[in-house]
Structure 1
Amino acid sequence: MLKPLATATRDLVSLDGLWAFALDTRVGPEPWRSRLETRLEAAVPASYNDLFADQEIHDHVGLVWYQRTVRVPRGWYGERIVLRFDAATHAASVYVNDTLVATHDGGYTPFEADLTEVVAPGAEFRLTVSVDNRLTNVTIPPGKLTVGPDGKERQSYFHDFYNYAGLARSVRLYSTPPTHLTDVTVTTDIDGSTGLVAYRLATSEPAPASVRLVDETGVVVASCEGHAGTLRVEDSVLWRPGAAYLYRLEIEVHDGWQTVDTYELPVGIRTVAVRGDQFLINGEPFYFTGFGKHEDSAVRGKGHDNAYLVHDFRLLDWTGANSFRTSHYPYAEEVLEFADRHGIVVIDETAAVGLNLAVEGGLTGAPPRPTFSPETINSQTQAAHAQHLRELIDRDKNHPSVVMWCVANEPSTNEDGAREYFEPLITLTRELDPTRPVTMTTVIFATAENDRTADLVDVISLNRYYGWYVATGDLAAAEQMLEADLRGWAAKYGKPIMMSEYGADTISGLHSVTATPWTEEFQADFLAMNHRVFDRIPSFVGEHVWNFADFGTGPAIHRVDGNKKGVFTRDRKPKAAAFALRERWRGLRGRKPAPEVLRESELSASLL
């Protein structure tokens, strides 16, 4: 699905702003048929939960309604008219006047409705959207619904971040010509000093097409006719981590001598590969430094905000980070575009978090249920997961910053049924995009001995919290456990290994001269312990701290005002760990640290 652009043949109107807003419990039946009966207004883009000083809205489970009036530009006669939602968390139904024009399941990928036959240029229409935040065992992410004694639905879910909902990303109305480009796929390769840009186009109906590749100075460096081909760029400038270079692919669709549609796509020439136990970008070993992040800020929830986008990326640069993972869902397209332009490497993850009912047992105290079964995570869940993968890869396949797909976060890959669930999904991922490696992050319950899926992925990504959830506060014991764990994976699989999560909750301003959990000193010491171990593992290819910044969570008693594992506070103030990471990472700049050599006696002792 192409991102809407304003070009010589396409127009674009933003529908962001203030929309009428109401809970489904506060409006009558079929509220799309008339003006929404409410005095509330909600910002778009933003999650709705924290906008209002209203407990009922904050805790609401079920449908909410958004509505606004839209006028179609009068110059759009003869054009195709399309309504685009960048996301609606987690399911949506869209009405134009009294007509249902679109439905969508999945809270973090875009969807569209062709309005050409239901609206008229120059005229107004009533746009009404229902957004449903409910999660079940067959949604991605999964959750569980129960009914309380008051007859109201209660939502529980198996991930440790707040279930923000609503229209958290932009809404747009745009036009295209009747004959138009519908898709473009670009892959790149390198032949000596020559860059190879293979492209494939799709159009709404058969029509000639041409492309040209333009460098950053505006010079055309290659061109081609037809819907598919390969452009050769002599002495090409590569897209590199920390040194982004983007060409511009200019696409034209023709009708005889006339150009009927135009579109532009940034292109970064680079290669990504796994060879042995190394992760390679442009044929050179790459070492990930960075974070798991969240789309999370006060008041906005998961609402996209360009000011936070710029500031967060500057903080990434300040720490020396070269990468991040889109934990635990696809981020707004603007985030990936910014990463493309600034040379930040991205591991792109689906919203498949919580496929692990052992975690549910730990959070609720209830006996754990089997994760994979007809009553829990089942074939319907798998089908929803597959659709999430299709939509993620369709949206993000052309971003040079995206170097790896993450199929899921912390699933129960140690349980019966895990391989049957994940093998078809990993196969699908490779079919959709054979050019990028595939990974999943591995929960601590899954070890090198009992994991059922590690042979299926290219990179072993581990989430480990030795010294926090295990051996709490005992960093000496934690160091021994962590090293034994990592060496077990390295010995069995011989693949690149990275730490996709490691961290400790920390209260900003809490200090101690002794190793006391929750203090800033303990967080810095915890990270340093992990780094000592990482530097002793030859096949180690990266470290992503959990988390970039503190973030909002649900009302569980083990969280006070959210998850505090950020090295920055929720309003982006640095903790002591941020300075420690800056000292380490700014010296690495994408290179693996020199292995720390231990004497045989020390190595034996460390593994006891």
Structure 2
Amino acid sequence: MSPSPTPVPRPEYPRPDLDRSERWLALNGTWELQPDESGTLAPDGPADLPDRLASRITVPFAWSSEASGVHEPWLATAWYRRTVTVPDGWGADRVFLCFGAVHHEARVWVNGRLLAEHVGGYLPFDVDVTDALDADRAAEIVVRVHAPLDKRDLPHGKQRSLPSDDYDSVSFSPTSGIWQSVWLEPRAATHAAAVVAGGDSLTGFDVVVHVAGPRRADARVTIAWDPEAAADAGEAVASAVAAPVPVSGSTDDDGTARLRLDTPGAAPWHPDAPVLHRLRVTTESSDGVDRVTTWAGLRRVETRDGALWLNGERLYVRGVLDQGYWPRTGMTAPSDDALRHDLELAARAGFNLVRKHIKLEEPRWLHHADRLGMLVWAEPPSPGRHSAQGAAAFEEVAAGMVRRDGSHPAIVVWGLYNEEWGYDFGLHREPVWQDELAGLVARFRALDPTRPVVDNSGWHHVDTDLVDWHCYITDLPTWAEVTAGLTNGTRGSFPVPFPSGLWHERALHVEPRRVPPGAPVLNSEYGTGHTTVDRAWAMQWQTQELRRHDAGSGYVYCELTDVEHENAGIHFADRSLKDTGGLASSDVHAPTTLVVDVLPAAPGADIDPDRWPDALPVHVSHHGTRRLTGRLRARWTRPRGTVGAGLGDGAGVVDGPAMTVEPFVLSAPVALPVPRPDGPARLLVWFEGDDGTSHARAVVDAGSIERSEER
């Protein structure tokens, strides 16, 4: 069949990190599809397929999604087919068929010849199809995909499994089949297959080029800084005082070249100034010349003295968890704009980091994060239970994550396992598993020693660079007490809700293993409440408690958007903003915030008017690079008034004394003599700089709670 004349979905080049977009052909769009319910159709390959397959599917959307046109979540096996003709002008270069990701097992035929078999649902793969093309340079492409319903021994993240995972209550629809872009591109037979450019020295790039092809052991690789990189909207492209001198070197027996490109006077990458450098990688061999470009940034992340540091400056993580699902398209973004939009939503909500939760997001999302200055905590999909097969497959995808994504300066944390998923909630009971995880961490650090690694996010750490925990306690006073103990080191365990409905105590460390002193600590999952207003209210007060403690290095709020039945997002699944009762996420998660010494009672009724204190103690938490000078101010407004409306010198403004706020040091409390309201009202509190700028805002609601038995 011929490609559909309808617009090609996801038409942009898929790999800005390994860019050959000057010549390529998108193969997204309409393909034929033949479901194979028994898994036994066409035992001898494509020749056994019918002349016309049963249905059509829109690639790159998984057959489990509505957008694919198929919407069969529990189909395990299917065959794809389409024809394509190689464009004129590609000359004598080899033609490669490229897949962004296919879940889970793929076999690829071209013109009846089996050319590739790939296992693993999240990493890219490609195949040289040149010798299988017919005389007219045409190809019939057939792909058989098997996506096991039982995924428990496979890295699959949040995809639902049958039988189910232990964490099925927080799992979502499967993503089966081709779920990222497919395309053709010409290359030399010997070519750069992966490029990792590390800029942690801040003075140049240490570049590792992995060369594939028949001459990979005797290829010549050159790295050149591109002075002609054009600035796209929202992107800062680097300049240098002096153009860096290109460097060249030969590959070793494994096809790896390691080169150092100095960039004198070049600007570093920082969230406030996300300067990117474009590097040109040329690979020469007797097979010809291969050219590819990549983007990188000069950026250093460190853990020392109990804190995170970015380019030598203290970093406080204000993160949000993002699971990377969309209503009609599942794990595949409906458009490139949708990828960027989610990052923009996170930034508008006040966050400076996105934790992409147990999913390898496509490279374009990471490139947008690089361009926008959004920090990323990246982590691979895990299996659902422990087995030798699952552990080996997990390590393979984790290593592939570094190989594919290691050049992105936005990535500042690598995560591995999450909440012992893949370890049957039993790390503390199994020393052999502890040794296995410690070995994985050591090998992972060897792959990339420039970023901190979290071994098992949530609890039961074995060997980690960040000590994190997931705290979903719903009672705010208890949550505040537990948070204080975990952050300040006086508490080593905390209660965790399990799918059974029971709460079990979980330790930060697996004894007798202890994380070295000085590791940063942070709460990497929290959030509670049933309604949208409940959750916004809890978010404000829980986050205030996290900001109360100078020993903390940050947090990750759960979560950015709703996903299917999970309604914990700041935004609905369609990305529309939820009703928050007038509370602004951008104030809660700002670099500078207020910490009010109140144990609030309920949404809309933080303090009963009859119990209003003579003075309200308020602190300022500031995570900027310079001290602030100014004063705290407050005034009453109508019940549930919107923050930001009417700040200024209006009637009834209460001023605190002049004060200086130091970075990363919670200020002493300022007692604001706010008069008692005569009924329900909302108190607006803000910190105003000497220049009149409002740096931080919060609200406290005065209201009474009428108990049901009192009505």
**CA deviation profile, 1:350-375 (whole Å, cap 9, x unmatched):** 101645xxxxxxxxxxxxxxxxxxxx
Contact 2:111 2:133 in 1 (8 A): no
Corresponding residue for residue 527 of structure 2? 503
Corresponding residue for residue 446 of structure 2? 431
CA distance in 2: counterparts of 1:576 and 1:290, whole angstroms:
21
1:569–1:36 distance in 2 versus 1, CA, 3 Å: farther
CA RMSD of aligned residues (A): 3.2
Structure 1 position 522, deviation (Å) = 1.5
2:189 pairs with one of 137, 158, 178: 178
1:343–1:25 distance in 2 versus 1, CA, 3 Å: same
CA distance in 1: counterparts of 2:481 and 2:336, whole angstroms:
43
SS at match of 1:414: helix
1:90–1:157 distance in 2 versus 1, CA, 3 Å: farther
1:417-496 → structure 2 map (5 Å cutoff): 417-443=432-458, 446=459, 451=460, 453=462, 456-467=463-474, 474-486=475-487, 487=489, 488-489=491-492, 493=515, 494-496=518-520
Q: Given the two structures, how large is their TM-score scaled by the length of structure 1?
A: 0.79
Contact 2:16 2:364 in 1 (8 A): no
Contact 1:238 1:268 in 2 (8 A): yes
CA distance in 2: counterparts of 1:144 and 1:328, whole angstroms:
10
Query: 1:401 aligned to 2:472?
Result: no
Contact 1:2 1:182 in 2 (8 A): no
1:345–1:142 distance in 2 versus 1, CA, 3 Å: closer
CA distance in 2: counterparts of 1:346 and 1:142, whole angstroms:
18
Corresponding residue for residue 187 of structure 1? 198
Corresponding residue for residue 171 of structure 2? 161
SS at match of 2:244: strand
Corresponding residue for residue 113 of structure 1? 127
Higher helix share: 1
Structure 1 position 240, deviation (Å) = 0.2
Corresponding residue for residue 290 of structure 1? 319
Corresponding residue for residue 355 of structure 2? 325
SS at match of 1:532: helix
1:320–1:53 distance in 2 versus 1, CA, 3 Å: closer
CA distance in 1: counterparts of 2:347 and 2:157, whole angstroms:
34
**CA deviation profile, 1:196-220 (whole Å, cap 9, x unmatched):** 2222334442233332213537777
Contact 1:179 1:261 in 2 (8 A): yes
Q: Which runs of 5+ in 1 are unaligned?
A: 147-153, 356-376, 468-473, 505-516, 553-561, 600-608
Q: Which runs of 5+ in 2 are unaligned?
A: 1-14, 228-236, 250-257, 493-507, 593-621, 625-662, 671-711
2:205 pairs with one of 197, 209, 215: 197
Code of the aligned partner of 2:42 = P
Code of the aligned partner of 1:132 = H
Corresponding residue for residue 244 of structure 2? 222
CA distance in 2: counterparts of 1:114 and 1:543, whole angstroms:
45
Corresponding residue for residue 268 of structure 1? 297
Corresponding residue for residue 20 of structure 2? 6
Corresponding residue for residue 368 of structure 1? none
CA distance in 2: counterparts of 1:332 and 1:144, whole angstroms:
16
1:579–1:116 distance in 2 versus 1, CA, 3 Å: farther
Corresponding residue for residue 306 of structure 2? 277
Q: Given the two structures, how large is their TM-score scaled by the length of structure 2?
A: 0.68
1:38 pairs with one of 53, 60, 65: 53
Contact 1:347 1:403 in 2 (8 A): yes
Structure 1 position 244, deviation (Å) = 0.5
Query: 1:541 aligned to 2:570?
Result: no
In the alignment of these two chains, the number of paired residues is: 529
Structure 1 position 77, deviation (Å) = 4.3
Contact 1:325 1:348 in 2 (8 A): yes
Code of the aligned partner of 1:532 = Q
Structure 1 position 241, deviation (Å) = 1.4
Corresponding residue for residue 558 of structure 1? none
Decide which structure has the larger Cα Rg and report it.
2
1:132 pairs with one of 141, 146, 150: 146
CA distance in 1: counterparts of 2:387 and 2:110, whole angstroms:
35
1:463–1:58 distance in 2 versus 1, CA, 3 Å: farther
Code of the aligned partner of 2:370 = D
1:289–1:20 distance in 2 versus 1, CA, 3 Å: same
Query: 1:581 aligned to 2:594?
Result: no
Contact 1:242 1:322 in 2 (8 A): no
Corresponding residue for residue 262 of structure 2? 232
Structure 1 position 131, deviation (Å) = 2.5
Corresponding residue for residue 42 of structure 2? 29
**CA deviation profile, 1:540-567 (whole Å, cap 9, x unmatched):** 1122111110012xxxxxxxxx100111
CA distance in 2: counterparts of 1:301 and 1:127, whole angstroms:
25
Contact 1:2 1:395 in 2 (8 A): no
Structure 1 position 233, deviation (Å) = 2.3
**CA deviation profile, 1:296-334 (whole Å, cap 9, x unmatched):** 111111113213113212212211211111101110111
Structure 1 position 12, deviation (Å) = 1.2
Code of the aligned partner of 1:427 = A
CA distance in 2: counterparts of 1:144 and 1:301, whole angstroms:
10
Structure 1 position 385, deviation (Å) = 1.2
Code of the aligned partner of 2:443 = L
CA distance in 1: counterparts of 2:457 and 2:304, whole angstroms:
21
Contact 2:18 2:293 in 1 (8 A): no
Contact 2:106 2:119 in 1 (8 A): yes
Corresponding residue for residue 595 of structure 1? 666
Structure 1 position 133, deviation (Å) = 2.5
Corresponding residue for residue 374 of structure 2? 344
1:385 pairs with one of 394, 405, 429: 394
**CA deviation profile, 1:377-429 (whole Å, cap 9, x unmatched):** 12222111111112111101111111121011111343324312311211111
1:597–1:45 distance in 2 versus 1, CA, 3 Å: farther
Structure 1 position 261, deviation (Å) = 2.4
SS at match of 1:246: strand
> Which range moves more in the overlay, 579-588 or 211-220?
211-220
1:346–1:262 distance in 2 versus 1, CA, 3 Å: same
CA distance in 1: counterparts of 2:457 and 2:428, whole angstroms:
9
Which has the higher relative contact order, 1 or 2, with Cα contacts under 8 A spaced 6 or more apart?
A: 1
Structure 1 position 438, deviation (Å) = 0.3
1:300–1:136 distance in 2 versus 1, CA, 3 Å: closer
Code of the aligned partner of 2:131 = E
Corresponding residue for residue 211 of structure 1? 223
Percent identical residues: 23
SS at match of 1:75: coil
CA distance in 2: counterparts of 1:97 and 1:119, whole angstroms:
7
1:143–1:43 distance in 2 versus 1, CA, 3 Å: closer
Contact 1:407 1:440 in 2 (8 A): yes
CA distance in 2: counterparts of 1:342 and 1:144, whole angstroms:
29
Query: 1:299 aligned to 2:299?
Result: no
SS at match of 2:206: strand
Query: 1:98 aligned to 2:127?
Result: no
Contact 1:85 1:110 in 2 (8 A): yes
**CA deviation profile, 1:124-176 (whole Å, cap 9, x unmatched):** 22212222332444311389999xxxxxxx44234423122222210111110
**CA deviation profile, 1:64-114 (whole Å, cap 9, x unmatched):** 222211222243342222111111123322222333222222222111112
SS at match of 2:177: coil
1:103–1:476 distance in 2 versus 1, CA, 3 Å: same
Contact 1:78 1:178 in 2 (8 A): no
1:307–1:225 distance in 2 versus 1, CA, 3 Å: closer
1:157–1:36 distance in 2 versus 1, CA, 3 Å: farther
SS at match of 1:380: helix
